[in-house]
Structure 1
Amino acid sequence: MTDIILHHYPTSPFAEKVRRVLAWKKLPWKSVIIPVIMPKPDLLPLTGGYRRTPVMQIGADVYCDTALICAVLDRIAPSPGLYPAPVAGQARLLAQWADSTLFWTVIPYVFQPAGVQSLFGHLTPEQMQAFSADRAAMRGNAPRMHPADAAAALPQYLRWLDDMLAGGQSWLLGEQPSIADFSVYHCLWFVRNAKAVAGILDQFPRLRNWMSAIEAIPLAPPEKLSAEEALQMARTAEPAAPDTSFVDTHGIPLGTPVTVTPTDYAQDPVAGELVAASEIEYAVRREDERAGTVVVHFPRIGYQLRRA
């Protein structure tokens, strides 16, 4: 297997989700630390414009969005599995809810003044202004929950999650972890890191114990890699053979120039030649002066496919 390279930064909650999955599966990986805000001059040659964190690279294949990244990791290392057969559908639905509804409730809750001070008090006013401008540009016209509404909704969500553990089971959906656990965890990890507002978790001891169980999974340190080394690895590799199970929902044949764009925020289109459109993903081939020929992969859910 070609090396797994994760392009991330330490405080990214979605990156923490993938880091914990890698730990649980005992997969070795290489770490490339990327900037928290734009510009990201060594990442965009790989992604073609996609700017969210994290991104996973395997040779000349680049995987965007943690929903797809985790599915690919599960294909690489099927055991232990992220999608246990008895609860696979529930796990996927709960994970999608956590990555969207729960995450976008956590963000305004954490970004109240006390939480901002906890997370970003070390930044200069100029750095904080740059961060705020970057995140505003990412959000664009996407609606944002008011902090007061988030403060009202989050305790209800936490109570429901805590109730899922009331029967004495170890994990949200039973006696083994699933993608649902790691997806919910990264949201609560972000709340806990904002220490001034993390007291909300104290009301839910079962959830705290469940978080401790995830944190008890040994987290082996990755091998550090420079961005230039990762680009060199992409340049010297060939993309893997694409998934041939073509699922046509748009009337766009393979080989067509297309764009793939997130539908919610950070709506930066990635252009390329459509080389795969399977049941769960799109993939486009693109050329870059620094990265060479790469194939960029996206999940179908949450992304729109259009002719270029």
Structure 2
Amino acid sequence: MTGDDAAKRTSGEDSFDRIAADLRALRDEAGPVSYAELVRRITELRLGRGLSAAAAVPARSTVYNVFQAGRARMDPMLVRDVVRALGADDDAADEWVRRCRSARRASEASARSRGSGPAPAVTSPLPAPVPVRSWHPASVAALLIACVTVNLLGLFTVHVFKLSVYLDMIGTAVAALVLGPWSGVAVAVASNGLGFLTGDPSTIPFTPVNVVGALVWGYGVRRFRLGARLTGFVTLNLAAALACSLVATPIVVAMFHGGDGHTSELAVLSLEATRLPFLVSVFSTNIVTSITDKLLTGFIALGVFAVLHGRWAVPAAHMPLIEKLAPRAEGHPRQLAG
């Protein structure tokens, strides 16, 4: 099927899935063309139209997502640039735009008929991320196992070297940011349950702390959009630190009488000597350590996500900050999405 044939398909009601399938066929006919090369060609087209250099470069994940099934929206102008970059002429490109708009009207009409209101506007700045269920199960399992392993390595490192941070939630943060809050919860429960393997017998009681961190990171970047800018992400890590300390303090006081064997126990004793209330002393020490730990954990997780996004095209539409940080690898990116 040629590009003109794909553009002129008018039988039946058009849909985003049909357009995506035709785009994949057009890309295969053209080479296939790598996503990195498509980004380069689209950038040249936009520069030729007079756009600034900053506005001309599309995110590689955004271009990749245009070719995927299950879309709830599709930017007609981006589709136009994609097909032009794949060799279609202006007339054919205009027909692709018409198809996108027709599919949007059909989607909105279907939504109204179900009583759910119009479909979201195509100009939404944060398109929905690819759901975990559409990923290859083996890829999801491998990532979750890796995250649990990272948490256990962090626990072991702190236990052996008596560090003043925790390092027990790096894997939790990665899973929550990349896959979602409840994937982060799964990693939290598994790693705390296996914490005894690192020589630390006190990890199981602190499972709720790890779970709360997963929920804060996961929902923070999805529901509250705190992954859009660096300032928002810093705020998210501080919120995780506060939430974790609020949950950890009663556990430390009730089950360990203020001392769980961590190096911060000495600071609790020092604050007690100033006649501060015991609960206040434990919380004050915990929050200081937690802020340092969660900032370190959050930015390590951010770096891991950027690598996954840049090298394997892991979707990051819910975290625009990732699209700014991720390196653009040449060639065909391997994909975790199925």
TM-score by length of 1: 0.25
Structure with the largest fraction of strand: 1
Higher-Rg member (1/2) = 2
- Point out which structure has higher relative CO (alpha carbons under 8 A, 6+ apart): 1
